Amino acid sequence: MNTIEKKGGNPLLSIYFTAGYPELDSTIRIAKKLEEAGADFLEIGFPYSDPVADGPVIQHSSEVALANGMTVKKLFEQLRELRQHVRIPVFLMGYVNPVIQFGVEKFCEECKNVGVDGVIIPDLPMYEYEDLYQETFEKNGIANIFIVTPQTSTERIRKIDSLSNSFIYLLSSNATTGKTLDVGEDTNAYFKRIHDLQLKNPLIVGFGISNKEAFQKASQYTAGAIIGSAFVRRLGEKDYMDEIPDFIKSIKG
């Protein structure tokens, strides 16, 4: 069964934030507040020293989190109490190096133990996942979320769909995170092309979604969208916890 399901025709809103930012111990508090405010599922980033796919806002949050002392081990320690406070689906997002250093099997086991539903690792090649790690992921009930870009071939998309058991992350463009989404004719055609493939897994759009208009446009052909940089930017403000309900309301209405 998919962990991500569209309810009542309303698009799903996922929020990304970096574990350990702005404070080392803010991870669970932010997750809890996001659920209370109406987020449908969460992506918690584990910081890495070389976040090549991320724009300046998320890069900065990773630098601060690492300086605060955040590690994969520390994150799992914090997530031990996750399911006491949060019921919506939760995914971890990051780069493959920290996962390999921690140990892939141990990483999947820890995800299972703390109640994480899946992971998004953009630089984990599909063939490597299939050959080396798929069995470990599936044994622990952890979904591996694959990424589709405007350049991804139909053949590869079908393959991704066959390997997936939660949702497919549809990159709005090939830009780094934090760029504003321009939903013009080309982007609409791209979203429609993927939608018309009638894949078994729901599509969730990420990269460049920063306001209600972009969220609604991105969700026309998909199950919903992910907001990252626009939210992480808010976490840099003084009263960031108080800002969360208004931020979610500004997107979902």
Mean of the per-residue pLDDT values of the chain: 92
Q: Give me the pLDDT at residue 208, please.
A: 84
Record the pTM: 0.94
Q: Give me the pLDDT at residue 2, please.
A: 47
Cβ–Cβ under 8 Å, residues 167 and 145: yes
Q: Is there a domain that residue 58 lies in?
A: yes
Q: Is there a domain that residue 3 lies in?
A: no
Residue 246 confidence (pLDDT) above 60: yes
What would the mean pLDDT of 12-27 be, rounded to a whole number?
97
Query: CA neighbours within 13 Å on the CB side: how many for 192?
Result: 7
Residue 177 confidence (pLDDT) above 60: no
DSSP secondary structure of 21-79: -SSTT-HHHHHHHHHHHT-SEEEEEPP-S--TT--HHHHHHHHHHHHHT--HHHHHHHH
Q: Is there a domain that residue 188 lies in?
A: yes
Q: What is the CATH number of the domain that holds 163?
A: 3.20.20.70
Q: Which of 40, 43, 110, 117 is catalytic?
A: 43
Q: Is there a domain that residue 4 lies in?
A: no
Q: Give me the pLDDT at residue 50, please.
A: 78
What would the mean pLDDT of 187-193 be, rounded to a whole number?
87
Q: How far apart are CA 57 and CA 236, in angstroms?
A: 10
Residue 1 confidence (pLDDT) above 50: no
- Going by C-alpha positions, the residue among 43, 28, 31 that lies closest to residue 80 is 28
What pLDDT band is residue 49 in, cutting at 50, 70 and 90? confident
Q: Is there a domain that residue 104 lies in?
A: yes
Q: At which residue do the structure tokens 């584990």 appear?
A: 46
Q: Which of 35, 40, 54, 117 is catalytic?
A: 54
Instruction: Give, in degrees to the nearest 5, the angle at Cα 239 between 233 and 244.
Output: 65
Domain containing 137 equals 12-252
Give the amino acid at 62: S
43 is annotated as an active-site residue: yes
Instruction: Give the N- to C-terminal CA distance of the chain in Å, as an integer.
Output: 29
Q: Who's near 246: CB < 8 A, 6+ residues apart?
A: none
Q: Is there a domain that residue 112 lies in?
A: yes
Environment class of 171 (CB within 10 Å of its CB; exposed 0-12, middle 13-18, buried 19+):
buried
Cα separations in angstroms, 165 against 75, 140, 145, 161, 235: 25, 13, 8, 8, 31
Residue 30 confidence (pLDDT) above 90: yes
Residue 210 confidence (pLDDT) above 50: yes
Cβ–Cβ under 8 Å, residues 86 and 42: yes
Q: How far apart are CA 239 and CA 245, in angstroms?
A: 12
Question: Which ranges of the chain would DSSP assign to H, the alpha helix?
Answer: 27-37, 56-68, 72-79, 82-85, 96-102, 104-114, 126-128, 134-139, 154-163, 185-195, 212-218, 229-235, 240-252
pLDDT in tens, 105-158: 999 999 999 999 999 999 999 999 999 999 999 999 999 999 999 999 999 999
Q: Is there a domain that residue 67 lies in?
A: yes
Q: How far apart are CA 93 and CA 5, in angstroms?
A: 20
Q: Is there a domain that residue 2 lies in?
A: no
What pLDDT band is residue 239 in, cutting at 50, 70 and 90? very high
Q: Give me the pLDDT at residue 253, please.
A: 83
What would the mean pLDDT of 65-86 be, rounded to a whole number?
98
pLDDT in tens, 83-106: 999 999 999 999 999 999 999 999
What is the domain count for the chain? 1
Q: How far apart are CA 90 and CA 113, in angstroms?
A: 13
243 is annotated as an active-site residue: no
